[in-house]
Amino acid sequence: MRKTLITYDYSHIPAVIHPYLEQAHIYDSSSSDNAQTLFIQGKEQWFLKISAKGKLEREYRMTEFLHHHHMAPSVAAYISDETNDYLLTAAVQGEDGASSQHMANPEQLAAAFGQYLRMLHQLPLDGCPYPGRSAEIRQEALDSGIDPALLGEHGYTPVDNVIIHGDYCLPNLIMDHYEFRGFVDNGYGGIGDRNYDIYWGLWTLNYNLDTEQYHDIFLDAYGRQDVDMEGVHYFSQLVDWTE
């Protein structure tokens, strides 16, 4: 996780967040153009994410839901002003899955990555604030301008019956020497089709490790009997069309 020490003028930040920033070292830890992420190191450690108004509500609600199940950090504050959303969460102790510590043993990493995805997909659906995730993903593809006929060519019908992360990539899993600590960046989650997360899991292992040789370890750790490769291919096409 990238952290760059900065001097930060937080006078524009809502006053309720100021006590967390006072007398703390502040680091820029942003990884996306869609949001600024600050790592706050004081007596305690926090992450403050800042994005356009309305953009962080989903992440707030899904993080709260997953925290209830001990799978995500606690939320200290979620505030909107006229222009921005501010989401302040406790820092999960550990390193993300793409850290050198975890990449050093790719076999163990792939096995843990599959195991913890299975753990997420076994959560009860009750109380999840975002059902019907597959329809949203399909609509995003249509909104990108693809021909609707292309969606019907695959013959796969998504089934929304598990809690998905929605961006299941190695940087979004925090571990301590491969021991689970929490999921972060939960703003794409909801009740969806397991094969969407499996697609992203396979994608990130290939991207971060620069090889597909650990895919079988990941799938076996997840439970290959519940993986539908037609579904994985369906979602890979949706992602390709959308991006």
CATH class of the 95-242 domain in this structure: alpha beta
Is the confidence at residue 154, as pLDDT, over 90? no
Give the pLDDT of residue 146.
78
CA distance 140 to 239: 9
CA distance 219 to 201: 9
- The catalytic position among 96, 167, 185, 193 is 167
Mean pLDDT of 19-24: 93
Is the confidence at residue 133, as pLDDT, over 80? yes
Give the pLDDT of residue 144.
83
- H helices of 45-128, where? 57-68, 100-103, 106-121
**Structure tokens that stand for 123 in this block:** 């959560």
Query: Pick the residue with more confidence: 156 or 203?
Result: 203
pLDDT digits (tens, 9 = 90+) for 202-219: 999 999 999 999 999 999
Q: Please give the CATH topology (third level) of the domain spanning 4-90.
A: Phosphorylase Kinase; domain 1 (3.30.200)
Is the confidence at residue 31, as pLDDT, over 90? no
pLDDT digits (tens, 9 = 90+) for 46-72: 999 999 999 999 999 999 999 999 999
> Strands, DSSP E only, in 68-197?
75-80, 84-90, 95-96, 162-164, 173-176, 179-183, 190-192
Give the pLDDT of residue 76.
97
Burial class of 242 by CB neighbour count within 10 A (0 to 12, 13 to 18, 19+):
middle
The residue extents of the domains of the chain are 4-90, 95-242
In percent, the amount of the chain with pLDDT more than 70 equals 98
Is the confidence at residue 243, as pLDDT, over 80? no
Is the confidence at residue 1, as pLDDT, over 70? no
pLDDT digits (tens, 9 = 90+) for 79-132: 999 999 999 999 999 999 999 999 999 999 999 999 999 999 999 999 999 999
**Structure tokens that stand for 14 in this block:** 């809502």
CA distance 113 to 103: 11
Give the pLDDT of residue 242.
77
Asked about 167 being catalytic, the answer comes back as yes
Is the confidence at residue 184, as pLDDT, over 90? yes
Q: Is the pTM of this model over 0.85?
A: yes
4-90 and 95-242 share one CATH topology? no
